[in-house]
A and B are shown apart, each in its own frame.
Chain A
Amino acid sequence: MLHSNEFLTPRLTGKRFDDHTIPLDLLEDFAALEELFIEVAKWIYLNENPDRKRVPRGFTNEVALKLSSIENGSAVPKIMLVTSFIGLFPNNNFEYYEKARENILKSIDAANRGEEVTRYIPDNLLVYFNRIGKRLRDDETIDFSPGSGLQAKLNRTTRRKLVLASSNIHEVTIETMIRGTIPEADKSKKTFTLMTNSGQRILAKLQGVHSTTILDAFNSYESKTRVMISGLGRFDKQDRLVSFESIDHISVLDPLDVPSRLEELASLEPGWLNGEGIALQKENLDWFAEIFETNYDPALPLPHLYPTPTGGIQAEWSSFTHDISLNIDLPKKSAFYQSWNRISDELDELTLKLSEDSDWQLLNQKLTQLYKE
């Protein structure tokens, strides 16, 4: 016979939860949360009963956290604690699970306040936070105790504090996406190396459905073939990606992939052009990467991208009849468009405001027309 109690109603906020749903890949995090509850409950029991060497028979049997529904605001999963009777007797260890809940909430609260978290969860159990919330994105938070006085809000920052509070853990697992080339692959060791655009080398396992794509990219390394890998990365205390725990997706990128090229350009230092040349500001490049991705017609060919000595970028296209350039002033978010007709020698020029959707539409229309000619 099963017994069910409402146990947790965490509030998930962030763009992905605005439609009151929870992505499936976050559900495994809640499975890890269940394991943490059970382990913390056991730890509390043994602390309160120092004469006992182990928890009573049936303490963890038939105990489960179950998702019963998802309510609005942004997304609020209703999590029940389900226990069963042991033979003819009800599970009377519920108080330890309630205490475990309080301790877990207080540990997250302590991380938010910069206080000692091991007062509430032992050092060796903090490793569970490497699994809980690992796929949270920058704008996302799980508030485990909304409306209470506690700051039990788990986000990338508090997760990191919780995991690294353990004396035994030196790496934090975080969902990540990275671009680079594959200069090394070792079939005997079943490993490969991803080299990022900044030159950092990251070791990963060569296995599963992605092997063919990885080996193809490795074999065409000389042609600068780039890939984009997304998965769970391990980051060290300096927040540097050191390895991949698992790979979700890998795809070969277009040779003119815009974010990759912008990453390259971000590494240019002041004076990059033989003593001249203003460095490109990363926040400006990030802005351009996003607005380009949002507004540029994916049916059109990608442009070549080059830095300009004045700290901007120049996008260039070449059709059968026209050479086109877009000289982009990043701080002003404006651009000078020029298309030169190689046959008639005519110019078409205009200034575009890149923060205006309508100007992107105009650019798309002009390029579409030129590539038809």
Chain B
Amino acid sequence: MHQTTLLLRQVHPSFVQANKISSQVFSITSQVFRPTPKDQNQLSVYNSNKYTPQESHAHFTAIDTSYKSHGVVAVSVQECDMEGLKCEENNIPFDGHSFIDFNMLSGSQIEKKAKKLRNYAMERGWLYEQSGEN
């Protein structure tokens, strides 16, 4: 992955509120970039060199019928580097799967980094947004 590679992140519909359809203004929670207990501090993302945002969305929602994504946002490898977060492509469980590593950070630092990544992503805007969602 290069510095300019985008790390695509799926946004659950409950993590979007008051999304204004007719403008670029939107609000997502910092939790989009906060690992869940299941992630074990490794936040799953798609490598944009192998998936377009739309392809990543289609792939993700096809994994299981219960998987939901309002749309796709992204941070770059460079932005993660600036925040001291390592990014790695492990291709497990599928080719193109990558993760942002939050290990070694306290809960407080994880929340702060999540806020920063959320802001980078919001600045970039939706890369893909499923119509009719939320």
Task: Specify whether A and B are partners.
Answer: yes
Q: Does B3 contact A (CB under 8 A)?
A: no
Asked if residues A274 and B108 are in contact (CB atoms below 8 Å), the reply is: no
CB <8 Å contact, B12 and A347:
no
A306 to B, closest residue via Cβ:
B29
A316 and B38 in contact, given A273-B12, A306-B14, A323-B115 (Cβ under 8 angstroms): no
Which B residues lie within 8 Å of A261 (CB)?
A: 17
Q: How far in angstroms is the closest Cβ of chain B from A24?
A: 38
Within 8 A of B (CB), among A354-371: none
Render B90-118 as a binary contact track against A, CB cut-off 8 A, 1 for contact.
00000000000000000110011001100
Bound complex: CA A271 to CA B67 (Å) = 10
Please, which residues of chain A bring their CB within 8 A of the CB of B41?
none
Interface 0/1 of A331-354, CB less than 8 Å to B:
000001010101000010100000
Would you give the 0/1 interface string for B1-20, flagging 1 where the beta carbon is closer than 8 Å to chain A? 00000000000101101101
In this assembly, does A308 line the interface, its C-beta being within 8 Å of a C-beta of chain B?
yes
Q: Which B residue sits closest to A345, measured CB to CB?
A: B112
Contact between A347 and B66 (Cβ–Cβ < 8 Å)? no
For chain B, the bracket of interface size reads 20 to 34
Known: A222-B21, A271-B66. A327 touches B111 (CB 8 A): yes
Chain B residues near A316 (CB, 8 Å)?
Answer: 27, 29-30
In the complex, how many angstroms separate the beta carbon of A145 from the nearest chain B beta carbon?
51
- B9, chain A: closest CB distance, angstroms: 13
CB closest residue in chain A, given B67: A274
Taken together as a complex, chains A and B put the C-alpha atoms of A340 and B116 apart, in Å, by: 9
Q: Of B14, B66, B67, which is within 8 A of A307 by CB?
A: B14
**CA–CA, A134 to B21, complex, Å?**
41
Residue-wise interface mask of A (303-317) relative to B, using a CB-CB cutoff of 8 A (1 in contact, 0 not) = 011111110001010
Residue among A256, A265, A310, A340 facing the most chain B CB atoms (10 A cut-off): A340
Check if B112 sits within 8 Å of A338, measured CB to CB: yes
Question: B119: which A residues are within 8 A, CB to CB?
Answer: 323, 342
Interface positions of B from 9 to 45, Cβ below 8 Å from A: 12, 14-15, 17-18, 20-22, 27, 29-31, 36-38
Asked whether, in the complex, the Cβ of B37 is within 8 Å of the Cβ of A276, the reply is: yes
> How far is B117's CA from A340's CA once the two chains are assembled, in angstroms?
13
- Set of chain A residues within 8 Å of B15, measured between Cβ atoms: 306
Query: Residues 171-191 of chain A: 1 if any B CB is under 8 Å from the residue's CB, otherwise 0?
Result: 000000000000000000000
B64 beta carbon closer than 8 Å to chain A: yes
Is residue A73 within 8 Å, beta carbon to beta carbon, of the partner chain?
A: no
A274 CB contact (under 8 Å) in B12, B18, B21, B29: B12
Residue B68 interfacial (CB < 8 Å)? yes
Q: Which residue of A265, A340, A349 contacts B14 across the interface (Cβ within 8 Å)?
A: A265
- Residues of B within 8 Å of A282, CB to CB, are none
In the bound assembly, the distance between CA atoms of A151 and B68 in angstroms comes to 53
For chain A, the count of residues having a C-beta within 8 Å of the partner chain is 32
Interface membership of A193, Cβ < 8 A: no
Query: Contacts A222-B21, A304-B29, A314-B29 hold; do A340 and B66 have CB atoms under 8 A apart?
Result: no
A-chain residues with CB within 8 Å of residue B115 when the two chains form the complex: 323, 325, 340
A102 CB to nearest B CB, Å = 57
- Indicate with 1 or 0, residue by residue over B38-78, a CB within 8 angstroms of chain A CB atoms: 10000000000000000000000000101110000000000
Which of B20, B22, B37, B66 sits near A309, CB closer than 8 Å? B37
Q: Which residues of A contact B116 (CB under 8 A)?
A: 340
A224 CA to B20 CA, complexed, in Å: 9
Q: Considering only CB atoms, which chain A residue lies closest to B19 in the complex?
A: A224
What residue in chain A is nearest B118 (Cβ atoms)?
A: A323
A342 to B67, alpha carbons, bound, how many Å?
A: 33
Q: Verify B20–A268 contact, CB threshold 8 A.
A: no
Closest 4 interchain pairs by CB? A306-B29, A255-B18, A309-B36, A274-B67
List 29 A-B residue pairs with CB atoms under 8 Å apart, sorted by A's residue number: A222-B21, A223-B21, A224-B18, A256-B17, A268-B14, A271-B66, A273-B12, A273-B14, A274-B12, A275-B64, A275-B67, A276-B36, A304-B29, A305-B17, A306-B14, A306-B29, A314-B30, A314-B31, A316-B29, A316-B30, A323-B119, A325-B111, A327-B111, A338-B111, A338-B112, A340-B115, A342-B119, A347-B108, A349-B108
Interface residues of B (CB under 8 A from A): 12, 14-15, 17-18, 20-22, 27, 29-31, 36-38, 64, 66-68, 107-108, 111-112, 115-116, 119
A interface, CB within 8 angstroms of B? 222-224, 255-256, 261, 265, 268, 271-276, 304-310, 314, 316, 323, 325, 327, 336, 338, 340, 342, 347, 349
